[in-house]
Chains A and B, each alone.
Chain A
Amino acid sequence: MKKMIYLDNAATTRTAPEVVEAMLPYFTEYYGNASSIYEFGAKSKEAITKARETIANALGARDNEIYFTAGGSEADNWAIKATAEAYRDKGNHIITSKIEHHAVLHTCQYLEKNGFEVTYLDVDEQGMVKLEQLKAAIRPTTILITIMLANNEIGTIEPVAEIGKIAKEHGILFHTDAVQAFGQVPINVDEMNIDMLSASGHKLNGPKGIGFLYIRKGVKIRSFIHGGAQERKRRAGTENVTGIVGMGKAVELALSTMEERAARERELRDYLMSRILKEVPFSRVNGPRENRLPNNASFCFQFIEGESLLIMLDMGGICGSSGSACTSGSLDPSHVLLAIGLPHEIAHGSLRLTLGADTTKEDIDVTVEAVKKIVAKLREMSPLYEDFMKKNAKK
């Protein structure tokens, strides 16, 4: 079999071997329930405490502010729904952006059906939230601002510190979905005035199905899963000890390698973006050049459709993703690409390539060559391209 080139690290990542190794003893050796009295159970408890400390340190938080969840989606749901419920007396207005992950958007839409009002802020052509529009959207009834730290499709890093400052000045809670950003860019919850933050293990070489919600001390937030007294009675359920240990290890690794890894990925990514722009006609980069996740490259190729491109890349052993309608299960292309102002037909031709620590320059070269060939082949098939060429020939 041909070597696989995995360029979909925003979808999920390979669990690092060190992470698996750290997890293994907690399956077969230290399998005790962390809530048990006996010494054996305490082993599990210790491991959870250690992971919690690692994560708290990574964010400049305290360990009693970290609550483990079953992933990023749960953390987003919890943060938004439970805040809405707890602060209902104060108001019913929530501010978010048009480019959030569906875990945030669909939760907000759900609340709208239950008497809440939600403002979905526009973004500029780079995907950046406009601070003036945010300020103007604030009402006396606003209880929550939830805006992602970095976008999963086009890599835009939002001005979270400024947003946090605005929220604080107005006495509004600020939640940020940091699922893509955590472990990629430095985050400090105090400096950025973040009250709640969601993250997920599988995006940073940790296991799937584990994540956490950071909740600043003093934030009134109800439990989301009712039951036992785990996670300071706020998130019931026997702890996912192996997952938590894996997540802790993954965070430790991600934080200790962040600077070096980001520099390397940024260089490879910039090389990828400049080659594509130079060598594939009628192509564009989505999202900003600066203020961008180091591993994210997002493109649109005019006259072609993203799913066809992905299948052909897959035939060459290359894994990528697209925001085309055909890959989303609906007829509309990605809400993010539409929000940055791309017309439908261009948004259909999108390709996202997200690098990882294992990505090599050779991988990028192979990928660029494949993209060039495939785009040319699909254009040869495309009636849109035919029309365009004929129109140009007439001019």
Chain B
Amino acid sequence: MVGLAAAFGSGAMTNSIAEIEDADCIFVIGSNTTSSHPLVATRIFRAIAKGAKLVVADPRKIQLALKADTHVRHNLGTDVALLNGMMHVILKNNWHDQQFVEERCEGFEEFKQLIDNYPPEKVAEITGVSADDIAKIAEYYAKAEAASIIYCMGITQHTTGVDNVKSLANLAMLTGNMGKESTGVNPLRGQNNVQGACDMGGLPNVYSGYQAVNVIDNQTKFESAWNAKLSDQIGLTIPFMLSGLSEGTLKALYVVGENPMVSDPDIGHVEKAIKNTEFLVVQDIFLTPTAELAHVVLPGTSFAEKDGTFTNTERRVQLLRKAIEPVGESKPDWEIIQEISNRFGYEMNYESAEDIMKEISTLTPSYGGITYERLQGDGLAWPCPDKEHPGTKFLHKDKFARGLGLFHAIDYQPPAEVVDDEYPFWLSTGRVHVHYHTGTMTRVSPTLHAEIPEGKLEMHPEDGERLGVRQGEKVKVASRRGEIIAKVILTDRVDVGVVFMPFHFVETCANVLTNPAHDPIAKIPEFKVCAVKVEKAA
């Protein structure tokens, strides 16, 4: 999100899900949409039926790739080079939107100079995609009347994640595919309420609505509304909290509904950090591996037992309604925190989730017009600044949130860990269609569990033959950080020299292997690429 905010001034999906079906070209990069966001994939299929071109850039032969006009399998971690190569072709052929660039953007000259250094022949060497294919996908995207970019974790989970996103922003601005129907740069958020957790200030540097904690006006506004003295020091991100725990500078950790013992890279390091915590509270609905290490576990409720709102990936705020009574003695998470706060000596008196939304809307400009009454029906997409505002379908219509759109000149950097003689395979991680995140909910669901009960390693049949492993046999997968045993699926979904593993499963936990090296700005760990060796298990 940091990348988009730097280019446009806002980090959210620029356009709505429904608009996708009217795009003339859809460029999907680093998103296994049919698995992770099935109902977005539906819109892509409808667009194809209406005649749209589909371009897929993904190292794996994902399901969407079978429907694509062109599928390119660029080497893992070479997204920036691929995009720069496309933009080189676009500029060379004058397919860019000169008027849009001049009137709506800045930073173009420096960017243009850098793009000069990425002729398709050179990019072909880095990415493994032919110069012809680079030219072809550039043409599809640039010549379309309305072209939409869709991306997900395949773009952000790299040490160069922010660079990748800025490059996508460059591509959209260069071709004028911004601020119009069925265009834009559209990140699909992973977990269901990632957008809402960000919007609500579940981040170390901002209050709700992205109001920075180190801006004095914001600080005084929240100090008077909350009647408390607030800190203007930006807080720690999760990777820094974990190293603080290991080093003993952070003493207590309060975890709500997260399971870092399965979700975070380099589990060995996480386990050490969590075990070193002087006081660990976990609030969740199941006894997760993280909760098992806690000093206190507080039972929260599921989405079915409470009122509230979620904000989906297209910024639409929608209602949850209580359908059943809380299981056992469990309580909605806001009630638990309120009780803790009152005992702590900071008074909170909310009677309902709706009460809390009333406070949110007075303090958060983009949610200013959001009330439970107005959310009955289809919900509202922010920004929705006042009670009359109908919500916002697509962003940056006449000008960007930051004023002018900013081009960034971005050079290609190789991934933090590359294959070598000892660790000759690229390992990539991701999701499968029936499971969700660390599997705490989906894996207790009999139907979903029966579909895919365990995590298996995908490997190309040629590699399987070379290692002498057959379909379903067990292999040992090791990286510089740890090793796991898993069964093999031989499939050409992955390329020769690449293996893939879903991350939902605690028994075959792919994150034992992954690299905690993270992007210097967004602090997203490099889940998508690391080097491993694979051998037949004894």
A joins B in a complex: no
Taking Cβ atoms with an 8 Å cutoff, the residues of B that contact A are none
